[in-house]
Amino acid sequence: MTIKTKEFILRPYKMTDAQDVARNINDMAIIRCLALNIYPYKLKDAKIFLKRHLLEEKKKNPDSQSFVIEINGEAVGSIGLHKIVKGHKASIGYWLAKKYWGQGIMTKVVKLVTAFAFKQYKLKRIYARVYLFNMEN
The footprint of ligand COA (CB under 6 A) covers 30, 33-34, 93-96, 101-107, 134, 137
Q: In angstroms, give the least distance from the CB of 105 to ligand COA.
A: 4
The total number of residues shown for the chain amounts to 137
- Calpha distance 115→109 (Å, rounded): 10
* Pairing of the two strands 125-127 and 89-96: parallel
Residue nearest to ligand COA (CB): 33
Angstrom distances, CA of residue 79 to CA of 10, 33, 64, 65, 136: 9, 14, 11, 9, 23
Closer of 50 and 78 to ligand COA (Cβ): 78
- Calpha distance 121→124 (Å, rounded): 9
107: Cβ contacts below 8 Å, ≥ 6 apart: none
Closer of 10 and 96 to ligand COA (Cβ): 96
Closer of 33 and 112 to ligand COA (Cβ): 33
Q: In angstroms, give the least distance from the CB of 36 to ligand COA.
A: 10
Q: In angstroms, give the least distance from the CB of 121 to ligand COA.
A: 19
Q: In angstroms, give the least distance from the CB of 60 to ligand COA.
A: 27
